[in-house]
Amino acid sequence: MDLDSLSISVAALLLAVTVCSAPSFAQSRDDLSVRTEFVRLLEMPGAGNGFLRPENVFIDRRAGEVFVTDPGNNRVVVLDTAGVYLFEFGGKDVFRNVGSVVVDSRGYIYVLGTTADGAHIFKVDYDGLLLGQLELSDTPEGFRFAPLSMNISENDLIYVVNGADLSVVVINTEGKFQSQFAVLGDLTEKSRRESILGQPEIDGNHLYLPAPMLGQVYVYDVGGQFVRAFGIRGNLAGELNFPSDVTIIDHKIAAVLDKHRFAVVCYSTNGQFLGEFGGMGVKPGDFYHPAYIDHDNQGRLYISQRFMNRVQVCDLPDFIRQRLDSLENGPDSTSENGPVQSSLPPQLPENSAKEVMR
């Protein structure tokens, strides 16, 4: 055998050994990535009355109602969880660019919209009657307020992501200031300035806040104490590229919507990867830059995207719940697929550029 033939044989042998000895981790994660279990589209009655660039989805699980902000038509549409249209209301000549929407325990509706002097929160009666702008009171000296998104707790406190200083501002439903805490405080000031924040989620005593450019979800207690962050930035199964929203199912499953991976990536609330579903495309069950997610009392997921003006309803795959059960009831709480979390999230890359959520 000449030297060249020997070199080729050795290289082939080394490649074979490498392939055979490679860990099965990546393959096992691929097995946890499936297609969407599509249920239906949310559709409006009548011709020419469809959604136009739908955005935020909020499920009032007390009343079984679905609220969809529809900025292209400057309105909020309300349906039941069976998909039946109930009513709608708009900003009329008062506000535009409807963003987040939440509902309190009495049925009053709070909508984030813009006027000539910036973004504000507006209060709406349960039948769609606009009651006016929610005026903030008892704010500290030097307080600056630029609301980006919001959510509401079970005890009717509204948690607002404040773009003026990358903080979360807590107010009650009358607009009275309760508290404020900084987020992303572990990052350098440069990284904080370059960061953007997704839609917050409140579950029990915890606030979940996606950090899209970090590929992570931060978790704080409702008093503002940092608890953990989970997720690893990347494009493989179980990783996050641009998480824009998260919803917590049964206080146990964090369903994270990844806008740039076109997927719903599911973790336990302590950060263990459970599985994911989705895929890029235009067929029912496919996603293309989805932006917002919420779930109803049946655990069904509602996912909005501007492209094709869609709000899709999907089932959570059974294997995700089964996997959570096996992790909870197993001999320990770890596995080869988790946890994927950290106590101190990474800094942004040096040359990172700001991205736009929309």
Q: How many CA atoms lie within 13 A of 96 on its CB side?
A: 7
**Which structural domain range is residue 188 located in?**
42-342
Mean of all residue pLDDT scores within the chain: 88
Q: What is the CATH number of the domain that holds 276?
A: 2.120.10.30
Q: Assign 180 to helix, strand or coil.
A: strand
Query: pLDDT tens for residues 234-272?
Result: 999 999 999 999 999 999 999 999 999 999 999 999 999
Residue 345 has pLDDT above 50, yes or no: no
d(CA 113, CA 70): 11
pTM of the model: 0.86
R_g of the chain, CA atoms, integer Å: 22
CB 246 within 8 A of CB 208: yes
Average pLDDT over residues 190-212: 95
Average pLDDT over residues 300-311: 97
Domain-located, residue 30:
no
What's the structural domain count of the chain? 1
Whether 4 has a pLDDT exceeding 50, the answer reads no
Other CB atoms within 10 Å distance of the CB of residue 152:
22
pLDDT in tens, 160-184: 999 999 999 999 999 999 999 999 9
Q: Which residues make beta-bridge pairs with 88?
A: 77
Say whether pLDDT at 283 is over 90: yes
89-141 per-position pLDDT tens digit: 998 889 999 999 999 999 999 999 999 999 999 999 998 999 999 999 999 99
In a domain, 122, yes or no: yes
Residue 318 resides in a domain: yes
Say whether pLDDT at 5 is over 90. Answer: no
Q: Is residue 302 part of a domain?
A: yes
Q: What DSSP designation does 46 have?
A: S
For 83-129, give the DSSP string: S-EEEEEE-TTT-BS---EEE-TTS-EEEEEEETTEEEEEEE-TTS-
For residue 347, pLDDT beyond 70:
no
Residue 350: inside a domain: no
Q: What is the dihedral of CA 32, 197, 205, 268, to 10 degrees?
A: 10
Q: 159 phi and psi, to 5 degrees?
A: -105, 115
pLDDT tens-digit profile of 24-77? 333 357 789 999 999 999 999 988 899 999 999 999 999 999 999 999 999 999
Query: Residue 15 has what pLDDT?
Result: 36
Question: What confidence category does residue 20 fall into, taking pLDDT thresholds of 50, 70 and 90?
Answer: very low
- CA dist 59 and 52 (Å) reads 19
Give the residue with greater pLDDT, 27 vs 143.
Answer: 143
Asked if pLDDT for residue 190 goes beyond 50, the answer is yes
Rounded Cα distance between 339 and 124, Å, is 42
Q: Is residue 290 part of a domain?
A: yes
Residue 144 counted as domain residue:
yes
What is the model's pLDDT at position 47?
82
Q: Which residues contact 325 (CB under 8 A, 6 or more apart)?
A: none
Residue 2 belongs to a domain: no
DSSP β-bridge partners for residue 103: 109
pLDDT of residue 13 exceeding 60, the answer is no
pLDDT digits (tens, 9 = 90+) for 319-333: 999 999 999 987 654
